[in-house]
């Protein structure tokens, strides 16, 4: 299997790349990023890409791959409401449309999150825009669309690009996990779950936190 990973400098995207390198069923990983990655591996190809509203020159890349793990994103605390919608919705939908057009057999895994609202009526920006993106992706003729909705993501490996608000939450994850274990998923579990969903194939589209933990567990 050959896969594409976006957001490979972020917490989840970097972990997907890490776990994909370890997965013998994945022969090639193409990371589409704005800047070079620090990690190098024989299975890993890096494409520097700047305009996330235009993917026309990546048609051949899309044709050559079986699945895309869309992990590109940003905390709503780091940008304006308008920027957040462009990054979360516009970038994602533009890419998925180009992928579907270039490769009808493309599988697409969208990293959404707990609280995504498909009614698009919530006042919470994160939930409204993630829900809007999920709805738009469902209308695109991809071979398969999977939506991962993790809740609290506990990092297993440090990531310098983690938003400050998320960094401040890290020391509290052990306590949160003790009190509400179903709320927390670690980054390795999440990455493994996303990869296994594509490899196994599922009839369902949306995977909530509890399901992701179960699929991503090594037990």
Q: What is the pLDDT of residues 22-31, one digit of tens each?
A: 999 999 999 9
Q: Is the distance from CB of 2 to CB of 30 less than 8 angstroms?
A: yes
Q: Does the pLDDT of residue 59 top 60, yes or no?
A: yes
pLDDT of residue 103: 98
Average pLDDT, integer, range 52-74: 97
Q: Give the residue among 50, 122, 136, 51 at the shortest CA–CA distance from 89.
A: 136
Average pLDDT, integer, range 112-140: 97
189-202: pLDDT as tens digits: 999 999 999 999 99
Is residue 166 very low, low, confident or very high in pLDDT (cuts 50, 70, 90)? low
C-alpha 192/C-alpha 194 separation (Å) is 6
Average pLDDT, integer, range 29-52: 96
Does the structural domain 2-216 have CATH classification 3.50.50.60?
no
pLDDT of residue 90: 98
* Percentage of the chain exceeding pLDDT 90: 82
Full-model pTM: 0.92
State how far Cα 201 lies from the chain centre. 17
Q: Which residues of 179-197 are buried (b: 16+ CB within 10 A; e: fewer)?
A: eeeeebbbbbbbbbbbbbb
Average pLDDT, integer, range 156-179: 65
Domain ranges of the chain: 2-216
Tokens standing for residue 142: 């991809």
pLDDT of residue 157: 72
């Amino acid at each position: 299997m050959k896969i594409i990973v976006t957001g490979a400098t972020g917490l989840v995207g970097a972990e997907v790349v890490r776990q994909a390198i370890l997965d013998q069923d994945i022969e090639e990983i193409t990371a589409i990023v704005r800047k070079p990655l620090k990690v190098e591996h024989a299975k890993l190809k890096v494409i520097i890409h700047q305009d996330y509203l235009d993917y026309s020159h990546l048609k051949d890349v899309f044709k050559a791959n079986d699945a895309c793990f869309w992990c590109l994103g940003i905390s709503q605390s780091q940008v304006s409401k308008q920027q957040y919608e462009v990054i979360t919705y516009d970038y994602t939908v533009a890419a998925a449309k180009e992928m579907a057009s270039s490769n009808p057999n493309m599988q697409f895994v969208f990293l959404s999150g707990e609280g995504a609202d498909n009614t698009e009526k919530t006042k919470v920006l994160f939930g409204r825009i993630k829900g809007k993106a999920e709805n738009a992706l469902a209308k695109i003729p991809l071979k398969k669309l999977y939506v991962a909705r993790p809740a609290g993501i506990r990092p297993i490996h440090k990531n310098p690009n983690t938003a400050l608000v998320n960094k401040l939450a890290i020391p509290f994850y052990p306590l949160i996990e003790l009190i509400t274990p179903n709320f927390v998923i670690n980054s390795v579990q999440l990455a493994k779950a996303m990869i296994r969903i594509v490899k196994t194939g599922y009839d369902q589209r949306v995977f909530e936190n509890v399901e992701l933990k179960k699929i991503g567990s090594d037990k």
